[in-house]
Amino acid sequence: MTEDVKVVQTQTRTVQESLLETVSLRLPAVTPPVTYPIETLVPQTRQQTPAVGQRATRSDSRLHGLGQTKYIADLAFSGMLYAKIKRAGIASARIKNVDTRAAEAMPGVAAVLTGREIPVNSFGATFQDQPVLADERVFHAGDGVAAVAAVTEQIATEALEKIKVEYEPLPAIFDPLEGLKEDAPKVHPPHSNIYATKVIRKGDIEKGFAASDHVFESRFRTQMVEHVTLEPHAAIADWDPNGRLTVWSTLGRITLGRADLARTLKLPMNRIHVIATIVGGNFGGKNEITQEPVLALLSKKTGRPVKGVFTRGEEFMSTTTRHPFIMDYKTGVARDGRILARKVRLVLDGGAYCSFSETTLGKACILASGPYKIENLLVEAFAVYTNKTVAGAMRGFGAPQVCFAYESHMDDIAAALAMDPLDIRLLNAFDEGSASPTGQVLQSVVVKQSLLKAAERFGWKEAGQ
Amino acid sequence: MKRRGRGIACMWYPVGYTVTANPSAAVVKMNEDGTATVLTGTVETGQGSLTVLGQIAAEELGVATDDVYVVSADTDATPADMGAIASRTTYVTGNAIRLAAGRAKAILFEAAAPLLGVKPDQLEARDRKIQVKGFPQRCLAIGEVANRAQVDMGQPAIGSASWNPPTVALDPETGQGKPFSTYVYATQIAEVDVDDETGEVEVLRIAAAHDCGTAINPMLVEGQIQGGISMGLGLALQEEILFDDAGRQLNPNLANYITPTSLDMPEIEVDIVDSYDPTGPFGAKGVGEPTSVPTAAAIVNAIHDAVGVRITSLPATAEKILAAIKAQRARATKRIPSIQHFDLGQGSSVRNA
């Protein structure tokens, strides 16, 4: 059959036909698909200029992804000892006696340390009211009372059981509102339980309330929470024979960490070397020294590097937490929703020590009225000692607490006036150049833009009407 | 039955310490091949700050992110820095690094100016080149300039600087003053389902619009917002340290202290609000802490919208919400219709009211 066709073709071909034939022989009926390189191109954001604005991958992401990042738990030195700290377990007491003899006699225990052996046994961001290890008195149940360095973590933990501490229980305060009363037992006698106060006064609140069509009052409370970083507080201290101290630590602030070490250990700063590793989460919880001076002194006693890693229980009980707040809000508004006056009282439960309470109190006080134009304002804030876990720096320094209060309050006002919660906020929000509660002229103010942008993204006007 | 609600919350938050000086110092060294090393005393605590600081140095030097290596957190090797706190790293340490990089760059301009036949102030650093402003084809590779500065001019391109945000002390009586150099703003809107038989809350989605000035690295800003929302969600609904009567913690472990997991996380829709702060490095402010500030308020407002109960103490646990719903129902059943609705004589005026 094909041979017949060929015969016909050879008999009748022209130049044009023969050209067509050669072309059609070379080209298949269907053109094959074009193949592209199979590699996937990832934008090389780290190689591009300008650098600012690039979605550059993190310089440490590869190590994190491969599990190769070295945290304190991954570091070890030859001859290294492990430290554990004995916790008081009683909220308020006088320490009558600490007997460490049985612990020291245990095989594998290299050294024991008590609070009385610390050269300057106090530290703190604002007031130095916190002992490194409690010596005379216990102020909350998470206070350390003695520390052990041993060849293994297990031996150190077992040795803690052998340390006998005699306590004389003292009266304790757990409710900050109780602590405010004149006749309340004092957490740090002879000092008052109110250890920091802040006030902001602007305009005339009495006039503002008098001019208001409606006045709203509410009390809000928040709870104590932990930072819950993935990596607990950890450090290694090595006191070398030259008398120079090297500390590897999870500290988020090494400049201040070194200053605190110099003060508590009475060492010149140039003999202290603080190295922070990549820290597995901070959120404010790793701003201050914790066990570093203890490890340093144990290293000095033993001549060996000493490592300490907090248990999750110690993370909760002995490190700082977020301040519980009690917040009283009174707000006067005009019929159209404008806020005319606001009075706020904040009481912070500071726990046993000041830590970052001063800062938290100050920021909470300044931010308490919200991002709103309020001419007549009075904010009074108090930080109160209690015999509970220390409250300190935590992401937001009091801002999440007061935001919960002023924004809940705002919705109650909007509901009472039958206003849209978005509209009442847009009506009162700061503009560029608005004066803050402290009288500061604000710049790069985009609170209204953020309200509109979030509302647009959420579909606020369309949804749920 | 599940009832849906939505809640809005906005906030403002300052960058840096309250009034107190909080300087950062930095050193920027350009190597002879045009790569650079930055020394900073801040600490990478997981937020990606070293990447952002490297980008700031790279931008000022006109090179790419990969060309800069950041050495951090060593009191012997790196200069003073008040640390990874108060959402200050990008703003304060970033400004110090930008200034230090500018000083290193000035040395490069001095080395390049005679070779390009212009004055140093006519030069700019861009795309790994030192070039004449407006004449980008008249340029030298930045590595060549750095090498000449060190080898021919005998002046390695090194700059150091420090920066501290300007503040004014607060009056102790009135609290008036300028406690912070700048602030950021944000809004979050939450959508929740509340089961009115159990009080259980499910956060479905959160729209988050945050201001951070210029986003030096938008991906890391988004990461901060996602992380901040998870922390805010824990504060709103789950987390609480409980004490016994003697002041001892009852739940100091992750079995009884509940934090959000990935299964608790809502859909998060992020917007970065257009903003530029002239006092920040390339207009940047900060974003770390503020991301978790409005979340709890937005969620609690959404619960109120869903079931009509106002939770005034955090966390808004299922127990608290259910108790509030029951109390509300108890009040509702006792309500007696107002007599005036049945007053026929006043009917017309009631309708108009």
Mean pLDDT lowest among A19-33, A132-146, B100-114, B208-222:
A19-33
Chain B (102-131) residues lying within 8 Å, Cβ to Cβ, of chain A: 126-128
Average pLDDT of span B6-22: 97
**A78 phi-psi bin (left φ>0, alpha ψ -120 to 50, beta other):** beta
Chain A (49-108) residues lying within 8 Å, Cβ to Cβ, of chain B: 49-60, 89-92
d(CA A348, CA A180): 11
Which of these CATH numbers, 3.40.190.10, 3.40.50.300, 3.30.365.10, 3.20.20.140, describes A180-226+323-458? Answer: 3.30.365.10
Average pLDDT of span A59-69: 91
Q: Is B335 helix (H, G, I), strand (E, B) or coil?
A: coil
Average pLDDT of span A251-259: 95
How many domains is chain B built from?
2
In this complex, the residue of A389, A447, A457 whose CB is nearest that of residue B12 is A447
Q: What is the pLDDT of residues B322-339, one digit of tens each?
A: 999 999 999 887 666 665
Residue A138 has pLDDT above 60, yes or no: yes
Radius of gyration of chain A (CA): 34
Residue A17 has pLDDT above 80, yes or no: no
Q: Which residues contact A105 (CB under 8 A, 6 or more apart)?
A: none
- Both B189 and B159 in one domain: the answer is no
In this complex, the residue of A276, A322, A457 whose CB is nearest that of residue B73 is A276
User: B43 vs A254: CB contact, 8 Å cut-off?
Assistant: yes
Token code pair at residue A272: 């202290």
Nearest C-alpha of chain B: how many angstroms from A336? 19
Residue A403 has pLDDT above 70, yes or no: yes
d(CA B214, CA B89): 14
**Predicted local distance difference test score (pLDDT) of residue B339:** 58
CA-nearest residue of chain B to A404?
B297
Average pLDDT of span A383-398: 98
Total residues belonging to chain A: 465
The question of whether B44 is a catalytic residue gets the answer no
Average pLDDT of span A59-84: 94
Nearest C-alpha of chain B: how many angstroms from A378? 9
**DSSP code at position B346:** G
Q: Is residue B145 very low, low, confident or very high in pLDDT (cuts 50, 70, 90)?
A: very high
Average pLDDT, chain B: 94
Q: Is residue B347 very low, low, confident or very high in pLDDT (cuts 50, 70, 90)?
A: very low
Q: At what angle do helices B94-116 and B49-61 cross, to 10 degrees?
A: 20
ipTM of the complex: 0.93
**Predicted local distance difference test score (pLDDT) of residue B335:** 62
Does A365 contact B at CB distance below 8 Å?
yes
Q: How would you list the strands of the sheet with B201-210, edge to edge? A: B2-15, B182-195, B201-210, B267-272
CATH superfamily, domain at A78-169: Aldehyde oxidase/xanthine dehydrogenase, a/b hammerhead (3.90.1170.50)
Distances (CA, A) of A409 to B8, B46, B131: 12, 35, 57
**Predicted local distance difference test score (pLDDT) of residue A13:** 66
Average pLDDT of span A164-180: 97
d(CA A221, CA B70): 43
Residue with tokens 């847009």: A426
**Predicted local distance difference test score (pLDDT) of residue A25:** 63
Q: Which residues contact B98 (CB under 8 A, 6 or more apart)?
A: B56, B57, B59, B60, B281, B282
Q: Is residue A367 very low, low, confident or very high in pLDDT (cuts 50, 70, 90)?
A: very high
CATH code of the domain in which B304 resides: 3.30.365.10
In this complex, the residue of A58, A223, A396 whose CB is nearest that of residue B289 is A396
- Both B193 and B277 in one domain: the answer is yes
∠ CA A165-A166-A168, nearest 5°, is 135
Q: What is the pLDDT of residues A86-131, one digit of tens each?
A: 999 999 999 999 999 999 999 999 999 999 999 999 999 999 999 9
Average pLDDT of span A389-412: 98
Does B238 contact A at CB distance below 8 Å?
no
Show residues of chain B in contact with A220, CB under 8 Å: 312-313
Closest CA to B100 of B42, B57, B153, B54: B57
Average pLDDT of span A358-362: 96
Average pLDDT of span B36-42: 98
Asked whether A82 and A150 are in contact (CB, 8 A), the reply is: yes
Helical spans, DSSP H, in B123-272: 142-151, 218-233
Residues facing residue A138 across a β-bridge: A93
Residue B50 has pLDDT above 60, yes or no: yes
Residue A293 has pLDDT above 50, yes or no: yes
Domain with B281, as residue range(s), is 2-14+180-332
Token code pair at residue A350: 């500071």
Average pLDDT of span A125-145: 97
Q: What is the pLDDT of residues A212-247, one digit of tens each?
A: 999 999 999 999 999 999 999 999 999 999 999 999
d(CA B62, CA A244): 41
* Core vs surface per residue A409-447: b (16+ CB within 10 A) or e: bbbbbbeebebebbebbbbbbbeeebebbbbbebebbbb
- Domain contains B340: no
* Amino acid present at A332: G
d(CA B165, CA B60): 20
CA-nearest residue of chain A to B220?
A55
- Both B327 and B185 in one domain: the answer is yes
**Secondary structure (H, E, C), chain A:** CHHHHHHHHHHHCCHHHHHHHHHHHHCCCCCCCCCCCCCCCCCCHHHCCCCCCCCCCCCCHHHHHHCCCCCHHHCCCCCCEEEEEEECCCCCEEEEEEECHHHHCCCCEEEEEEHHHCCCCCECCCCCCECCCCCCEECCCCCEEEEEEECCHHHHHHHHHHCEEEEEECCCCCCHHHHCCCCCCCCCCCCCCEEEEEEEEECCHHHHHHHCCEEEEEEEECCCCCCCCCCCCEEEEEECCCCCEEEEECCCCHHHHHHHHHHHHCCCHHHEEEEECCCCCCCCCCCCCCCHHHHHHHHHHHCCCEEEECCHHHHHHHCCECCCEEEEEEEEECCCCCEEEEEEEEEEEEECCCCCHHHHHHHHHHHCCCCECCCEEEEEEEEEECCCCCECCCCCCCHHHHHHHHHHHHHHHHHHCCCCHHHHHHHHECCCCCECCCCCECCCCCHHHHHHHHHHHHCCCCCCC
Task: Give the N- to C-terminal CA distance of chain B in Å, as an integer.
Answer: 34
**Predicted local distance difference test score (pLDDT) of residue A28:** 63
Does A404 contact B at CB distance below 8 Å?
yes
Token code pair at residue A440: 């500061």
In this complex, the residue of B19, B177, B252 whose CB is nearest that of residue A313 is B252
- Both B232 and B319 in one domain: the answer is yes
Average pLDDT of span A172-186: 96
**Predicted local distance difference test score (pLDDT) of residue B338:** 62
Does B185 contact A at CB distance below 8 Å?
yes
How many contacts does A have with B, using Cβ atoms within 8 A? 391
Show residues of chain B in contact with A385, CB under 8 Å: none
Residue with tokens 């084809």: B137
d(CA A383, CA B128): 53
- Both B9 and B31 in one domain: the answer is no
Nearest C-alpha of chain B: how many angstroms from A291? 18
- Both B206 and B317 in one domain: the answer is yes
Chain A (181-240) residues lying within 8 Å, Cβ to Cβ, of chain B: 198-202, 218-226, 228
Total residues belonging to chain B: 353
CA-nearest residue of chain A to B297?
A404
Radius of gyration of chain B (CA): 28
d(CA A81, CA A110): 8
- Domain contains B343: no
Q: How would you list the strands of the sheet with A194-202, edge to edge? A: A194-202, A376-385, A339-351, A325-333, A214-221
d(CA A337, CA A343): 17
Chain B (251-290) residues lying within 8 Å, Cβ to Cβ, of chain A: 251-254, 257, 259, 269, 271, 273-278, 282, 285, 288-290
d(CA B328, CA A108): 63
Does B45 contact A at CB distance below 8 Å?
yes
Q: What topology does CATH give the domain A234-318?
A: Aldehyde Oxidoreductase; domain 4 (3.30.365)
Average pLDDT of span B283-303: 98
Helical spans, DSSP H, in chain B: 49-61, 94-116, 142-151, 218-233, 295-307, 318-334, 347-352
Domain boundaries, chain A: 78-169, 180-226+323-458, 234-318
Q: What is the pLDDT of residues B72-98, one digit of tens each?
A: 999 999 999 999 999 999 999 999 999
Asked whether A129 and A122 are in contact (CB, 8 A), the reply is: yes
**Predicted local distance difference test score (pLDDT) of residue A1:** 44
Average pLDDT of span A276-287: 94
- Both B42 and B115 in one domain: the answer is yes
**Predicted local distance difference test score (pLDDT) of residue A12:** 60
Q: Which residues contact A32 (CB under 8 A, 6 or more apart)?
A: none
Average pLDDT of span A43-56: 93
- Both B72 and B111 in one domain: the answer is yes
Model pTM above 0.90: yes
Q: How would you list the strands of the sheet with B129-132, edge to edge? A: B123-126, B129-132, B135-141
- Both B185 and B328 in one domain: the answer is yes
In this complex, the residue of B70, B86, B207 whose CB is nearest that of residue A454 is B207
Helix, strand, coil share of chain B (percent; to 5): 35, 25, 35
- Both B295 and B314 in one domain: the answer is yes
d(CA B247, CA A141): 7
- Domain contains B37: yes
Average pLDDT of span A281-285: 96
Average pLDDT of span B221-232: 98
d(CA B96, CA B165): 10
Show residues of chain B in contact with A359, CB under 8 Å: 17-18, 86
- Domain contains B241: yes
Q: Is residue B349 very low, low, confident or very high in pLDDT (cuts 50, 70, 90)?
A: very low
- Both B143 and B250 in one domain: the answer is no
Chain A (98-137) residues lying within 8 Å, Cβ to Cβ, of chain B: none
**Predicted local distance difference test score (pLDDT) of residue A462:** 83
Average pLDDT of span B135-161: 97
Residue A304 has pLDDT above 60, yes or no: yes
A180-226+323-458 and A234-318 share one fold: yes
- Both B26 and B96 in one domain: the answer is yes
Chain B (130-169) residues lying within 8 Å, Cβ to Cβ, of chain A: none
d(CA A350, CA A398): 11
User: A256 vs B83: CB contact, 8 Å cut-off?
Assistant: yes
- Exposed/middle/buried for residue B92 (C-beta within 10 Å: 0-12, 13-18, 19+): buried
Average pLDDT, chain A: 94
**DSSP code at position B174:** T
**Predicted local distance difference test score (pLDDT) of residue A463:** 64
Q: Is residue A22 very low, low, confident or very high in pLDDT (cuts 50, 70, 90)?
A: low
CA-nearest residue of chain A to B267?
A458
In this complex, the residue of A58, A91, A366 whose CB is nearest that of residue B248 is A91
Asked whether B13 and A23 are in contact (CB, 8 A), the reply is: no
